[in-house]
Amino acid sequence: MGTAQFQRVRSNPLFKELCAERDRLAWILSAILLVIYFGWVLLVAFGQDFLAQSLWPGSVATIGFPIGVGVILSAIILTGIYVWRANTRFDDLTQKLLRESR
């Protein structure tokens, strides 16, 4: 390991590909999460009447229940998507890049 090897990694087109792909996914998923979470925060602030509707005619459970649980599940699903993509794509790309730049 030395500056020369870092130089080789940097000039390898795979490096640009890896960074671009991973950063794009990370920022897209972050943006989705922000929209979901702050959407929920604003819904709680402004849309209480909507959230308080019965889930089906006469039910005690409200629409807010599945939506709230949905926000929790969406956090788990988004992390799952990132890990799946990283394990199947980014790790391979990194291995290949490091092999080529040795």
Partner 1 sequence: MRRAYWGLLAAVSSPAWAADAPAAPASPPVNVEAIVMFLLFVALTLGITYWAAKRTHNATDFYAAGRGITGLQNGLAIAGDYMSAASFLGIAALVYVNGFYGLVYSVGWLVGWPIILFLIAERLRNLGKYTFADVAAFRLQGGPIRIMAALSSLIVVIFYLIGQMVGAGQLLHALVPQVGYMAAVIIVGVLMIIYVTFGGMKATTWVQIIKAGLLLGGATIMAVAVLAKFGFSFEALFAEAVKIHPKHDAIMHSFTPIGGKPNPLESISLGLTLMFGTAGLPHILMRFFTVGDAKAARSSVLFSTCFIGYFYILIFIIGFGAIVMVTGNPDFIDPVTHALRGGGNMPAVWLAQAVGGDLFLGFIAAVAFATILAVVSGLTLAGASAISHDFYANVWAKGRASEQTEVAVSKIATLGLGVIAVVLGIIFEKFNVAYIVGLTFSIAASSNFPVLVMAMFWKGLTTRGALAGGYAGLLGSVLLIIIGPTVWVKVLGNAAPIFPFDFPTIVTLPLAVFLAWVVSITDNSASAAREKDAFDDQYVRSQTGLGAEGAASH
Question: Could you give the residue ranges of the DSSP H alpha helices within the chain?
Answer: 3-11, 13-46, 48-51, 64-85, 91-100
Binding of residue 27 to partner 1 (CB under 8 A):
yes
Binding of residue 20 to partner 1 (CB under 8 A):
no
CA 50 to CA 54: how far, in whole Å? 9
Between vectors from CA 49 to CA 56 and to CA 41, what angle results, nearest 5°? 110
C-alpha atoms less than 13 angstroms from C-alpha of 101 in its C-beta half-sphere: 21
Binding of residue 63 to partner 1 (CB under 8 A):
no
Count of residues that bind partner 1 according to CB under 8 A: 51
Residue whose entry in the numeric block shows the structure tokens 């998923």: 29
Binding of residue 11 to partner 1 (CB under 8 A):
no
Kindly list the residues in this chain that would bind partner 1 in the complex (CB under 8 A): 1, 3, 5-6, 9-10, 15, 18-19, 22, 25-27, 29-30, 33, 37-38, 40-42, 44-46, 48, 51-52, 59-62, 64-65, 68-69, 71-73, 75-76, 78-80, 82-83, 86-87, 91, 94, 97-98
